[in-house]
Amino acid sequence: MRKILLVIVVVTSIFIAGCSGNGSDAQSKTPEALTVWAWDPYYNVKALGIAEEIHKEKDADFELNIIENAQEDIVQKLNTSLSSGAQKGLPNIVLIEDYRAQTFLEAYPDAFYDLTGKFESNDFLSYKIQATSKDGKNYAIPFDTGSAGLYVRRDYLEEAGYTVEDLQNITWEEYIEIGKDVKETTGKNLITNDHNDLGIIRMMIQSSGEWLTEEDGVTPNIAGNESLKTSLELYKTFVDEGLLNLHSGWSQLLEAVNNDLVISQANGNWFTPSITAEESHLGNWAVVPFPRLPGIEGSVNATNSGGSSFYVLNIPGKEQAADFLINTFGSSINLYSELVNEIGAIGTYIPANEAGIYGEEVEFFGGQTIYEDFSEWAEEIPGVNYGMHTYAISDMLAISLQQYLRGGDLDAILEEAQQQAERQLR
C-alpha cells in the first residue's frame, strides 16, 4: 500500500512540476514591459500613455513602463550609462530634445537603433528629420514641433489702436515701434525674459536659417554671424527702450505672462497651456507669426523653439520598441488627433496635418484656429544643424550679452566669444 501511495505521490509531483514548468515557459514568452524615459507628466508622459492605449489595439499584451524625470536628470543618467558602456538600467526608449540630439549621436554612435527604412521619413517635416538624423541615417521617430509664434494680448493692442491684423508677417523693428505705442498707452512691457535664457535669440537666428555652429554642427558660428548680431542688437533695444520685463526662472516667467505685466511673449506652441492656465484671460489672447529679422536676407516669419523626438536604445527589445513607436508616433493620425485634443500637442507628421485635425477653433484665443496656424508655420521653419554645442555656446553668449548690455563693443565681444568657443569646444 505504501508503495502504491509513493508511486502516486511521485507521479503527481512530476505532473505538477510539468504544469509549473509549462507555466514558467509561458511567462517567459510574455513580452516584458518596455521602459521609456521622458519628462513633463502633463505633456510628454501623458502623450506616451495615450500612445500606449492605441498600440494595445494592435497588441493587447503590450505594456509601457514610463519613468518620468526632469530633462536634466535624464541627460545626466543617459550620459553616465552610455559612457560606461553598461546596458543595465538603460531604457528601451528615451525622449531627447532636438537641440541635444546630435551630441548624443556623435558621442555614442552605436548606442541608438538605426530606424532608417523602417518608417516613412518623408511623412515628417524636413527640419525635424534633419535634427534627428546623422550621416544620412534616421535614429528617431519625430514627436512634437516647437513651431513658434508670438502670443499677444489683443485687448492691450486694441486699447492702443492696433489690431491683431497689424502684427501679421512683420519684422522685429516694426513690432518694437508698435510696442512703444502700446506701452505709452497701457504701461505694459512688450515681452519678458531672463538674461541667462537665450531662447528668444535662438528663435531669432533660426528664422533666418542660421545657428550657433556652422553647417558641420561643430565649428562655432559667432563672429561674423549677422543674424546673431542683429538679434542681440534687437534685444538691447528692448532693454534700452524700457520694453523688457526682466524675470528670473520659469515661475517668474509665468507670473509676468499671467499677471498682466507684458503684452506678448514669443515661444513654441508647447507654451499654450501656460497661457490658458489663467482662465480670466479668456478671449484676450491671440497668436501671430513670429516676427522676422530686419535686414537679413532669407529671414522668414517662422521659427522653432525646443521640440523633442523618441530614440530607441540599441539593446534587447529594440525591435519591439521600434514597432511601438512606428505604429503610434510614426504613422497614427488617430494618435495625433487625440494628442491635440488632450494636451494641445502638435506633431510634425504631415498626413496628420493634411487630415485637418488641427482645424478646431479655440475659444480661449477668440475662436482662432491656433493649432492649424502653428502647423502651417511649422512647414516654413528653416532647417538647421543644431550640432553638438547649442547649450554650451548659449551659456557663453549669456555672458557676452551681459557685457554688451553694459556698453561693450558688440563686434569685439562676439570675436572674443568665438575664440573662447574654438578653444573650449574642440
- Looking up residue 207, the CATH number of its domain turns out to be 3.40.190.10
394 to 145, 211, 233, 268, 384: CA distances (angstroms): 21, 11, 16, 18, 16
- Residue 56 included in any domain: yes
- Looking at the fold, whether 135 and 43 belong to one and the same domain comes out as yes
Answer for the pair 328, 55: CB distance below 8 angstroms, yes or no. yes
Q: Residue 26 and residue 21: Cα distance in Å, rounded?
A: 9
**pLDDT the model gives residue 28:** 31
- Residue 350 included in any domain: yes
Cα dihedral 184, 187, 192, 194 sign = positive
Residue 253 has pLDDT above 90, yes or no: yes
- Looking at the fold, whether 264 and 178 belong to one and the same domain comes out as yes
Instruction: Please state the rounded mean pLDDT for residues 238-254.
Output: 97
- Looking at the fold, whether 270 and 408 belong to one and the same domain comes out as yes
Percent of the chain at pLDDT above 70?
Answer: 93
- Residue 369 included in any domain: no
- Looking at the fold, whether 39 and 136 belong to one and the same domain comes out as yes
Cα dihedral 373, 270, 366, 189 sign = negative
Q: How many domains does the chain have?
A: 2
Residue with cell 549669456: 398
Answer for the pair 62, 48: CB distance below 8 angstroms, yes or no. no
Q: Residue 187 and residue 156: Cα distance in Å, rounded?
A: 10
Residue 287: all three cell numbers together: 497668436
- Looking at the fold, whether 298 and 346 belong to one and the same domain comes out as no
- Looking at the fold, whether 221 and 238 belong to one and the same domain comes out as yes
Percent of the chain at pLDDT above 90?
Answer: 90
**pLDDT the model gives residue 9:** 36
Domain with 140, as residue range(s), is 34-145+307-357
**pLDDT the model gives residue 1:** 41
- Looking at the fold, whether 400 and 347 belong to one and the same domain comes out as no
Please tell me whether residue 379 adopts helix, strand or coil conformation.
coil
**pLDDT the model gives residue 304:** 97
- Looking at the fold, whether 253 and 319 belong to one and the same domain comes out as no
Residue 260 has pLDDT above 50, yes or no: yes
Q: Please list, in sequence order, all residues whose beta carbon lies within 8 angstroms of the beta carbon of residue 244, skipping any fewer than 6 positions away.
A: 189, 190, 191, 192, 193, 235, 238
Residue 233 has pLDDT above 90, yes or no: yes
Please tell me whether residue 283 adopts helix, strand or coil conformation.
coil
Residue 270: all three cell numbers together: 508647447
**pLDDT the model gives residue 108:** 96
Q: Residue 426 and residue 76: Cα distance in Å, rounded?
A: 21
**pLDDT the model gives residue 17:** 40
Residue 132 has pLDDT above 50, yes or no: yes
Confidence at 426, pLDDT banded by 50, 70, 90: confident
- Looking at the fold, whether 238 and 323 belong to one and the same domain comes out as no
**Which of these, 59, 63, 78, lies nearest to 315 by C-alpha position?**
78
- Looking at the fold, whether 158 and 267 belong to one and the same domain comes out as yes
- Residue 186 included in any domain: yes
Strands 285-289 and 148-153: antiparallel
Confidence at 249, pLDDT banded by 50, 70, 90: very high
- Looking at the fold, whether 189 and 329 belong to one and the same domain comes out as no
**Which of these, 268, 274, 273, 315, lies nearest to 37 by C-alpha position?**
315
Amino acid 211 reads W
Q: What is the pLDDT of residues 65-101, one digit of tens each?
A: 999 999 999 999 999 999 999 888 999 999 999 999 9
- Looking at the fold, whether 114 and 168 belong to one and the same domain comes out as no
Q: Please list, in sequence order, all residues whose beta carbon lies within 8 angstroms of the beta carbon of residue 421, skipping any fewer than 6 positions away.
A: 220, 222, 389, 392, 393, 396
- Residue 214 included in any domain: yes
Please give the residue that has the higher pLDDT: either 83 or 27. Answer: 83
Q: What is the pLDDT of residues 136-147, one digit of tens each?
A: 999 999 999 999
pTM of the entire predicted model: 0.87
- Residue 206 included in any domain: yes
**pLDDT the model gives residue 32:** 79
- Residue 10 included in any domain: no
Among 17-31, 176-190, 210-224, 252-266, which is the least confidently predicted range?
17-31
- Residue 19 included in any domain: no
Answer for the pair 168, 289: CB distance below 8 angstroms, yes or no. yes
